[in-house]
Structure 1
Amino acid sequence: MKLLRRKEGPSLDSRLAALREAADLAEGRLPEQVVSGARAVADRAGVRRELSIEHTVAALAGATGSGKSSLYNALAGQDLADVGVTRPTTSAAQAALWDGDGAGPLLDWLDVPKRHAADGHADHAGPRTGTDAGADLSGLVLLDLPDHDSIRLSHRLEVDRLVEQVDLLIWVVDPQKYADAALHERYLRPLAGHRDVMLVVLNQVDRLPVPAVERCLADLRRLLDEDGLAGVPVLAVSARTGEGVRELRSLLRERVAERASWSARLAADITAAADHLAPPEARGEPVAATKRMQGAERALTGALSTAAGVPLVVQAVAKGHRHRAVVATGWPLTRWIRRLRPDPLRRLRIGGIPHDRLNGKRGRQDRKLDRQSTKLDGRDRTLDGAGRERDRRDREDRQIVGRTSVPAASAVQRAQVETAIRDVGEVAAAGLPGPWAASVREAGRSRAGELTDAVDRAVATTSAGATRRPRWWRAVNVLQWLVFATMLAGVLWLGGLFAMDYLRLPQPPLPTVGVVPWPTALLVGGALAGVVIALLSRLAAWAGGRRRARRTAKALRAAIGQVGREYVLGPVETELAVYARFAETLDLARGRT
């Protein structure tokens, strides 16, 4: 069914959908009573809009002795409700219908079984006199409610239930109790947002002189203005004499003819429910500045890096690079001594597998895991995006390393991390209403238990690249072996000459380099060249280790920063996005564009 649209602002359908979405977003963040109340309003509005929109349900509500039933009979044109001095007189709501065809389902929903056909041709200007003007009330369903201050709880509950459901509220007061605090504090003031679907009738004015009636009306107007009900029509009526009944019927006639009271009531209900979802401080925008968030993120990355032992790892990268460079490019006769020393990165269980071999191993494991996954009843095809991401991470965990041997964070470092996480939540929650601020802070801590393993995994994964062997190592290694072979050739040559001399064999011609025999030149030159190459390589390795340490430090900080964004800032930003959407839906539910 297509609903009527307001002249300005969003449609009732979109406001109702926005209220439902706001209630869903507030689930677990705002008090359950507030959320369930918003959902109840949305459900009630959804049901009412599907029922007859050709009927307007108006209810006469008031205190004991205010004359509701007498006014009900006067408007209906016949004695439908019992009138007497015994209180309470009205024990259950009853309905008078003007052209009630199609109103049955609506009254069933209201749970009003007692129904009467009103005298549609009665328009009382006085006691039992009238014209045919009452026919214009076609479509009106008028309810006579029990007393809202009845001594019986069931009566008060009946009033509370129907006050929440009817389209138009007509509050009947009398000169003695129009200022009753129970009426103003329990009903009128909380319903200030429903002023467009409310009338106030001062009954029994026949008991007062005209000046007193004017004073009562002025005082009643003042009280209503204080209740936030400025502009609500106030009529002076006497159900006994018929004074003011014609004006009241005329006003009802206008409201019924408009066929808009039901939508105005639903719109007011939706606005009130949205206002209850949003505490007063929620009307402002969050004040968490970008620079402050960036500062908190940097502090978090720094605390995580320190707790993860990044300075120790960076130092080990530089030392490990020099260590491996000596092993790869040192003099072959002495490099084995370096092998006896522990590799700094291996001691931290980082880079235990050379990077090129690691890539090959990853590839083999990937292929093996892919073959296994295809055998699990098409599991890969049924995984959603989040499932595939978790599966990918599990593979990486199995492929690279377990935990490193970086020393555990100290108590001070752990406290610094906790402080940095708390600061992120505090900065992000600045300017948010209390419940949402608490939710944002809790989101920042929600995955704190996973940070240690995630950061350790990031350190191990990122540092694995620090074991990559530069290409020049291989070239220098080949050169060293060539130099060593040259020196070995000189040794063998000299050894052969020594053996021939020992055996008293004739010496062959001995070539020379200047005055130095070639065997000696090969031996001494090879030894000197190997030492020089080793020294130059060590100098290059020292400079390369510093460069690699800087690159690793930068990469580690970026990787740990990504972990911080994923495990701390990610949940916080998600919660902020939820709040932003919540605020947007609240504005839409209130009818703001």
Structure 2
Amino acid sequence: MSALDERVNALRSAIEAAGDVLDPAVAGPAEATFAHAKERLELSAEHTVVALVGSTGSGKSSLFNRLSGLELAEVGYLRPTTSTPLACAWGPAGATELLDWIGVARRDQIARRSILDAPRDDAFEGLVLLDLPDHDSVVQENHDVVDHVARYADLFVWVLDPQKYADAAIHEHYLAPLATHKDASLVVLNQADRLSDTDLKIAVDDLEQILEREGFGGVPVIATSAVTGAGLPELRAEIGRRISSKRASQARLVADVRQVAQRLAEVGGVEPVPGLDRPTRDALVETFVACAGVPQIADAVEDSMARRAVVATDWPLIGWVGRLRHDPLRELGFGRSARDAVAGTMPISPSVQRARADLALREATEAATEGMSRPWRASVIHAVVGEETRAVIDELDEAVAGVDLGLKHRPLWWTAVAALQWLTMIAVVVGGAWCAASVFGLVDPDPWSGAPRPLGMSLPLMAVALGLLFAIALTLVSRWLGGVAARRAGARAEKALTEAINRTTERIVVARLRHEIDRYERWCSGLATAVR
């Protein structure tokens, strides 16, 4: 894969990851760059378009004539003489289609090989040399022509002169904005014959410092003279080297992609973000647990299980009293969530709990996206906390309502204790009836002669006493066991509810936030590849 393909694919990946985060006015230039690169490579990969760009009086037209070996461009020093781009193409095939695409009129296109059977110049084979209008022309149309044709050049030769090489017009309008195109640039300090050797060195050193500040460090600076021919061999050799490498057109297109990527990075940002760390995630789950009423539900489960244990294991004659106590979960299973069933016992109303959960979700999202640019952050927050995600609390309620709290489970020991309680009641009832009957002389208190009388009590009375004592002991033990079991049931319910909320948070919050951050990271990675 070529450097251009790699950068184009990376830039496409970044734009696709951004989606609707980017304003169309910002994303549009990137799409135009893709189309431009495709058209340029389809038209001609064998030609290298070299544009001479300079100000009035810089001598670029004279330089154009010396490079082409023909007096094609009109030369002037006091006013602009070039109003339309002039092209000279080397090679038998010419570059008509390419020049038509650039916008050079047919009358201004010269095929170098056809002029008087000029000798072949292998070093310039495939060169398309453009002489552009002066960039500082007083004629606005000339400015427009330069700006237009500059979009199509594979290699810029910036022609400066000793008097105006630091002119802000070319540095601010062209060089500084095209710092990303330094690999597709050469800088020529023309009219070197007007300076002494010492002054020329000072001017070149000063120009190199200016270029360094503008991001053009390392770009070759060649001192030339169209009059004496000084520096022209070096300039021809450098242009020839760019042509022979066949990389000039790709270097220019790579620079275009880099420039667009830098612009996108400035608008969309590429700062790293912390993501949703474990403490923030755990704090969010804790807030959801509180807002879903998990502690109140667990308490209600404990209270309900304790009540059911009392009803199931109390002495039958008094067990009905437990049924009169309020069961906080009595309405579960009738279309209401567990949180709604205990809403009356919660310290904060459900609407306030919902707002609290929404705020916690927003704060967690903002913490995870710290450092994102405003467009990206707004997009992520909207995706995670926006109107379409208001169902987060409803999802949590459904998760809570779907948890099996174990309320239908009836421990076996309840049945055993209940059987024993019925036996004690039978003993008390039978013994009591026997005692009453013996008072009226209906039966003998002693079932047989010599029957034992523990503690001086008859057997019927002993049955009543022992039955009551055993029932009291059994009730106390079962109450204690019921409390222990109820607390364990409450703890199990709280754990199950917390796990359900944890899973729901992972599914509808963390996964969505992770997806959005992954999009942002693909954006950053794509731009980093496109810019490098």
Partner of 1:187: 174
CA distance in 2, matches of 1:105, 1:219: 41
Change beyond 3 A, Cα 1:190–1:425: same
**Any residues of structure 2 matched to 1:328-477 within 5 Å, and which?**
328-346=312-330, 349=331, 351-352=332-333, 403-407=340-344, 409-410=348-349, 417=357, 420-432=360-372, 436=376, 439=379, 445-446=385-386, 449-462=390-403, 464-477=405-418
User: Is 1:577 matched with 2:518?
Assistant: yes
The residue correspondences of 1:179-578 to structure 2 (distance < 5 A) are: 179-205=166-192, 213-239=200-226, 242-279=229-266, 285-286=272-273, 293-346=277-330, 349=331, 351-352=332-333, 403-407=340-344, 409-410=348-349, 417=357, 420-432=360-372, 436=376, 439=379, 445-446=385-386, 449-462=390-403, 464-481=405-422, 483-484=424-425, 501=442, 510=447, 514-515=452-453, 529-578=470-519
What is aligned with 2:88?
96
Structure 1 residues 216 and 133: CA distance shift in structure 2, 3 A: farther
SS at match of 1:117: strand
| d(CA) in 2 for partners of 1:71, 1:108 | 24
Task: Give the deviation of 1:432 after TM superposition.
Answer: 4.8
Are the equivalent residues in 1 in contact too, given 2:91–2:112 (CA < 8 A)? no
Q: Is the 8 A contact 1:466 1:552 kept in 2?
A: no
How many angstroms does 1:261 deviate by?
0.8
Give the % identical residues. 39
Q: Is 2:32 the counterpart of 1:48?
A: no
Relative to the length of structure 2, the TM-score reads 0.82
Amino acid at match of 2:301: V
- What CA deviation, in whole Å up to 9, does each residue of 1:328-364 have, x standing for no partner? 2222233233223321222xx4x447xxxxxxxxxxx
Q: 1:525 Cα shift? A: 5.2
Structure-2 change in CA distance of 1:556 and 1:402 (3 Å): closer
What is the alpha-carbon distance in structure 1 between the residues aligned to residue 420 and residue 101 of structure 2? 96
Query: 2:152 is matched by which residue type in structure 1?
Result: Q
Specify whether residues 233 and 132 from structure 1 end up closer, same or farther in structure 2 by C-alpha distance, changes over 3 A only. Answer: farther
Cα distance, 1:260–1:424 mapped onto 2, change above 3 Å: same
Alignment partner for residue 106 of structure 1, among 84, 98, 106?
98
Letter in 1 for 2:488: R
Q: In the TM superposition, what whole-angstrom CA distance separates every residue of 1:290-320 from its partner, at most 9, and x where no partner exists?
A: 8xx3322333233333333333222212211
Counterpart of 1:421 in structure 2: which amino acid?
L
Q: Residues 241 and 15 from structure 1, CA distance in 2 versus in 1: closer, same or farther, beyond 3 angstroms?
A: same
For 1:81-117, what per-residue CA distance to the aligned partner results, in whole angstroms no more than 9, with x for missing partners? 4556896544443432111627444334434343523
CA shift for structure 1 position 443: 5.1
Shift of 1:183: 0.7
SS at structure 2 position matched to 1:169: strand
Deviation (angstroms), 1:138 = 1.3
The RMSD of aligned alpha carbons is: 4.1
Please say if 1:117 is aligned against 2:105.
no
Q: Do the aligned residues in 2 keep the contact of 1:462 with 1:555 (CA within 8 Å)?
A: yes
Give the residue type in structure 2 aligned to 1:74. Answer: R
Residue 55 of structure 2 aligns with an amino acid whose one-letter code is A
Question: 1:77 maps to which residue?
Answer: 69
Task: Provide the C-alpha distance between the structure 2 equivalents of 1:24 and 1:141, rounded to a whole number of angstroms.
Answer: 36
Unaligned runs of 5+ in 2: none
Name the CA distance, whole Å, in 2 between partners of 1:61 and 1:94.
Answer: 12
The aligned amino acid for 1:222 is Q
Alignment-derived partner of residue 381 in structure 1: none
Three-state SS of the structure 1 residue aligned to 2:156 is strand
Amino acid of the residue matched to residue 333 of structure 1?
L
Q: 1:164 and 2:157 equivalent?
A: no
Query: Is the contact between residue 396 and residue 501 of structure 2 (CA under 8 Å) also seen in structure 1?
Result: yes
| Aligned residue in 2 for 1:21 | 13
**Other structure's SS at 1:231 match:** coil
Distance 1:402 1:154 in 2: 74
Deviation (angstroms), 1:530: 4.3
- 1:332 and 1:164 map into 2 onto residues whose CA distance is 97
> Structure 1-normalised TM-score?
0.74
Q: Say if 1:425 and 1:572, in contact at 8 Å, map to a contact too.
A: yes
Aligned: 1:148 with 2:88: no
